[in-house]
Amino acid sequence: MSEYAFEMKDIVKDFGEVHAVKDGCFSLGKGEIHSLIGENGTGKSTMMKLLYGIYDLTSGEILIGGENPGKLTPKKSISLGIGMVHQEFMLVDELTVLENIILGFEPRNGLLIDFPQARKEVRRFIDQYGLDVQLDKRVNQISVGEAQRVEIIKVLMRGADTIILDEPTAVLTPQETEGLFRILRNIKADGKSIVFISHKLNEVMTISDRISVMRQGRHIGTVEKERTTKEDLATMMIGREVLMNIRTAETSPGEPVLRIEELWTSGEKEMSKIRGVSFEIRSGEILGVAGVDGNGQSELVEAITGLRPVERGSVFLEGRDISRLSPGKKRKAGLAHIPENRNTRGLNRSFSIMENLISSQLDERFSRHHIVDTAAADAYSADLAEAYDIRPRDPRMSTSSLSGGNAQKVVVAREVSVGSKVLIASQPTRGVDIGAIESIRNTLEDVKRRGAAILLVSADLEEILSLSDRIIVMHEGRITGELDKKSANETDLGILMMGGKRTYE
């Protein structure tokens, strides 16, 4: 028998043109807790989904218990003792916890489900690992932490001795996280092995035996916990190379244009509520917002742009309180917005390029007695297609078939060409090709040179570092620190992103 629960070597996984994993490598020792860390979109989850048989390998080798299992499917992986707790729980809200746990392999008593027997079996796991759950509550009545424990019981009941937890703490409060760690230690003490995916360095340093770092689809290194520090891990995660050719503009920022005061909003999740955020951006300045996804950045952008109600606090544009204006009125007041999701917000995919380019200025600029001024719209969109290199060049084409980069260029062209005083750019280069990244970043620099105030939210730290004049870091809906261009470095950012304090100063 192998000393490893499983090994993955030279893993490559392509999704069409996208290389999700370029050079993956991971091995899990028996009875070990091995963390897999990295920024969003670096291929961590993809690696584990390959192991679990959700995706097929493009190339590479997977050994389970020292043997090649052949083509993997979730069913096969489960039979080989691998269990996965997904980021999104897969529970039936209307059923009870007990019913959810036994769903799919109910113990039977003739035609009936043998609930007493099921209850007895589940109790065994609850007692052995301290997996405290209320078996008779319906799933929609229990907390997220408890739902996660239900998922873990499900995995254990199906006989897993290798358990993969995909960002399990992303949805937990610190107290719940501690509880989860106690459970994980109990499971480990029982001789089972655990893969822990995360990007929170504190947690990783608490729970792991070994830590593997991935960056941009590559395995960067594997270290023993005892021989590393948070700072080292942060540097490994973020890397140092800057590959872009950006014409950064040295401008001297002018008057404050956008001011946020004590802003509070609701959040998609508990940790993404905005809790009293304040900052200002001056003309000719890019303020970067760094942070792990889901710490309130999206909510902040939505609140500023009018897409999410402001609960408390204010947004001022050149001294005018615009906090409670509609998105349309905010646009008229001088706010432009590149949204994080171009498919749902940024574009109407069933409209043409031209229709998408004019939609924000329909009444102001492209309406003649309430009739769409097609001639003006055509000329305008032909100009923009040329200026922003949108391909295909025919603005009458539908946007449904545009590539990610060209689709994003349409969004950027529409937002930037209005000449607004404030530009909110959220993940402006997410999921676009290198060429488009460079052109979009140069556009942002041009907008800054023109004297606009820019709020740049990005999960890509390299982007934040290369474009921003100042950087604020968000963690759980609050600003945990502010750095300026000169003193900002990856390590400090990494620590602030994890909610920590700066170690020196």
Partner 1 sequence: MNNPLGKNFALLEAGRRLFYILLLSLAVGALFILLIKENPLRSYVALFRGAFRGKLNFGNTLANFTPLMLTALAFAVGAKGGAFNVGVEGEVFLGGLVAAYIGIHWTFLPKILHLAACFLGAMAAAALWALIPGLLKAYYRVSEVCSTILLNYVAYNITSYFVTGPMSAGVANAQSLPVADQVRLHQFLRPSSANVGIVVAALVTLATIWLLRKTTFGFKIRAIGTNPLHAEYVGINPKTMLVKAMVLSGVLGGIAGAVEILGVHGYYLDNFAAGVGFNGMLVSLIVKNNLILVPVMAFILGALKSGALGLQQATDVPKSIVDTITAIFIIVGTMEGLFQVSRKKRNKKSEA
Supply 455's token pair: 């709020």
Selected from 327, 392, 419, 435, the binder of partner 1 by CB under 8 A is: 327
Say how far apart CA 469 and CA 309 lie, in whole Å. Answer: 29
Using the rule CB under 8 A, give the single segment among 156-164, 195-203, 276-284, 397-405 that binds partner 1. Answer: 397-405
210-242: b or e for each residue (b if 16 or more CB lie within 10 Å)?
Answer: bbbbbbbbbbbeebebeebebebbbbbbbbeee
Stretch binding partner 1 (CB under 8 A), from 176-184, 265-273, 288-296, 323-331: 323-331
| Residue closer to partner 1 (CB basis): 183 or 397 | 397
Q: How far is CA 494 from CA 196, 474, 500, in A?
A: 19, 11, 9
Of the residues 265, 360, 408, 480, which one makes contact with partner 1 according to CB under 8 A = 360
Reported as type and span, the H/E element at residue 7 is strand 4-15
Size of the site for partner 1 (CB under 8 A): 42
Hey, what's the torsion of the CAs at 95, 98, 100, 102, to 10 degrees? -140
Task: Pick the stretch among 4-12, 234-242, 268-276, 329-337 that binds partner 1 (CB under 8 A).
Answer: 329-337
| 344 sits near partner 1 (criterion: CB under 8 A) | yes
* Nearer to partner 1 (CB atom), residue 124 or residue 396: 396
Q: Of 36-44, 273-281, 348-356, 462-470, which part binds partner 1 (CB under 8 A)?
A: 348-356
Residue 201 · residue 233 · CB < 8 Å: yes
- Give the gyration radius of the chain's Cα atoms: 25
- The residues near 236 (Cβ < 8 Å, ≥ 6 apart) are 213, 215, 220, 221
Q: Does 503 bind partner 1 (CB under 8 A)?
A: no
Q: Which of 70, 252, 371, 504 binds partner 1 (CB under 8 A)?
A: 371
Q: Is 87 in the site for partner 1 (CB under 8 A)?
A: no
Question: Which one-letter amino acid corresponds to residue 496?
Answer: L
- Enumerate the H helices of 335-483 as residue ranges: 353-358, 362-365, 374-387, 404-417, 434-449, 461-467
268 binds partner 1, rule: CB under 8 A: no
- Work out how close the CB of 115 gets to partner 1 at its nearest, in angstroms, rounded to a whole number: 37
CB of 328 to partner 1, least distance (A): 3
With beta carbons less than 8 A apart as the criterion, state whether 485 and 468 touch.
yes
Question: Torsion over CA of 416, 260, 457 and 245, rounded to 10 degrees?
Answer: 60
Tokens representing residue 337 in the block: 């917005």
Smallest distance, Å, CB 331 to partner 1?
Answer: 5
41 binds partner 1 (CB under 8 A): no
Please, what is the minimum distance in Å from the beta carbon of residue 373 to partner 1? 9
Q: Which of 227, 240, 370, 486 binds partner 1 (CB under 8 A)?
A: 370
> Per CB under 8 A, does 299 bind partner 1?
no
**CA-to-CA distance for 318 and 337, rounded, in angstroms?**
17
Nearest approach, Cβ of residue 443 and partner 1 (Å): 19
Give the interface segment with partner 1, choosing from 5-13, 231-239, 248-256, 401-409 (CB under 8 A). 401-409
**134 lines the binding site for partner 1 (CB under 8 A):** no
CB 133 within 8 A of CB 142: yes
Q: Which residue, 37 or 413, has its beta carbon nearer to partner 1?
A: 413
Cβ 361 to partner 1 shortest distance, Å: 9
CA distance 74 to 318: 56
Task: Please provide residue 421's backbone torsions phi and psi, each rounded to the nearest 5 degrees.
Answer: -80, -25
Among 103, 242, 362, 379, binds partner 1 (CB under 8 A): 362
φ, ψ for residue 436 (rounded to 5)?
Answer: -70, -35
- In angstroms, what is the minimal distance from the CB of 404 to partner 1? 7
The reply to whether 449 sits near partner 1 by the rule CB under 8 A is: no
Q: Determine whether 3 is exposed, middle or buried from the number of CB atoms within 10 Å of its CB (0-12, 13-18, 19+).
A: exposed
Closer CB to partner 1, 71 or 370, in the complex: 370
Q: Does 431 help bind partner 1 (rule: CB under 8 A)?
A: yes
| Among residues 157, 307, 376, 382, the one that binds partner 1 under rule CB under 8 A | 307
Judged by the rule CB under 8 A, the positions of this chain that interact with partner 1 are: 16, 305, 307, 326-329, 331-332, 337, 339, 343-352, 354-355, 359-360, 362-363, 366-367, 370-372, 374, 396-398, 400-401, 403-404, 407, 431
